[in-house]
Amino acid sequence: MIYDAAVIGAGPAGATFARIAAKNGMKLLLIDGSGEYGKPCGGLLAPDAQKMLACFDISLPHDILTSPQIFSVKTIDLGTRSVRYYRRMYLSMDRKRFDGFLVSIIPESVDILKGRCSAVSRTRRGFVVTVRQNGKDMHFRCRNIIGADGASSFVRHRFFPDRKIMKYTAIQQWFRSDSRTDPFYSCIFDPETSESCSWTINKDEYFIYGGCFTPEHCRIMFEKQKKRFSEFSGIEMNDPVRTEACLACRPEKYSDFVTGRRGVYLIGEAAGFISPSSFEGISGAMMSAKALAEAFENNRGSAVAAAYSKAVFPLKTKYMVKTAKRLFMYVPVLRHTVMASGITAIKTEKK
């Protein structure tokens, strides 16, 4: 049997592509390499991602949502010890259950395989994909490869090794929280330990602390920052019940986006579709997956690559505009000026 495409990765990008493309008549193999807990993620569904779900006419089951729901972000600059609140409208959810739900609504015609893609080779008629499951290798033939395997994308590294992109190590720890721990959601900046951002999120009975760090000495910087935050906030973070880590990427220029060619296509974070300012990637995953599925529906051969690249150009431009926004968030002197001005900040009652 030859599949029309093998989709590597069953997160929001891979699941969305599989759902739409299967309805359009493509015969697909979806390779789900997620672990026990899924991707390390705070589990906040941003407005752009909510809009995509609305466009798909998808409603979320109540058991995916977690408590509390969030209406603001507490922005903390540990360097200047300044704090501001900004309005944000997120849905707090269980990310593992969310990904599982997206997979559950994929048509039954899609073959879903749990395992890790260990090799892809090009042949005269397409590709051979090797999947390792329970220590054994299985081989599948397909006409196209869809890389939906995130920042550490095997597909991108295998077929586009010269297209580098800025990488971080995202580290996140979960702590038991028997009572309310402020803040519910915060965005933390600390120039001493990272040029990127960190976050805290309360989720049901847990308090989460995570952040993005340059790969070199990332764990040392994470622990140092955690200590600095604890000293600033008075929140103790001892004995984590879970520690997670993964790679995260950040586009800096148009060439960082790789959509693919010659039967190999990338969607989601593997292609570079993630916000350079907030690191929100679910909306970009679903947008790029939809664009590629529609490119396959209306085109053949090399025309697929051209149609897909054209369709996601507005998304690329949107992320490049956000690189300008990033300057005011991540350059310390500009961030201090913005926070001191109080522009767009909201006032909250003292507790």
CATH 3.50.50.60 domain residues, the chain: 2-46+94-163+253-323
Per-residue pLDDT, 351: 56
Q: Under CATH, what is the fold of the domain 70-93+166-249+326-346?
A: D-Amino Acid Oxidase; Chain A, domain 2 (3.30.9)
Q: Facing residues of 123 across strands?
A: 126
Answer whether 119's CB lies under 8 Å from 110's CB.
Answer: no
Per-residue pLDDT, 315: 97
In the chain, what is the straight-line distance between the N-terminal and C-terminal CA atoms, in Å?
Answer: 64
Dihedral through CA 22, CA 24, CA 26, CA 29, nearest 10? -20
- Give strand ranges (E) for 190-307: 197-203, 206-213, 242-250, 260-261, 264-266
Per-residue pLDDT, 179: 59
User: CA torsion sign, 73 to 286 to 277 to 346?
Assistant: negative
Per-residue pLDDT, 177: 84
Per-residue pLDDT, 347: 86
* pLDDT tens digits, one per residue of 152-185: 999 999 999 999 999 999 999 999 986 555 668 9
* pLDDT tens digits, one per residue of 276-322: 999 999 999 999 999 999 999 999 988 999 999 999 999 999 999 99
CATH 3.30.9.10 domain residues, the chain: 70-93+166-249+326-346
Query: Which residue positions in the chain have pLDDT lower than 50?
Result: none
Q: Give the predicted TM-score (pTM) of the model.
A: 0.94
The superfamily CATH assigns to domain 2-46+94-163+253-323 is FAD/NAD(P)-binding domain (3.50.50.60)
- In terms of Cα–Cα distance, which of 76, 83, 284 is closest to 197? 76
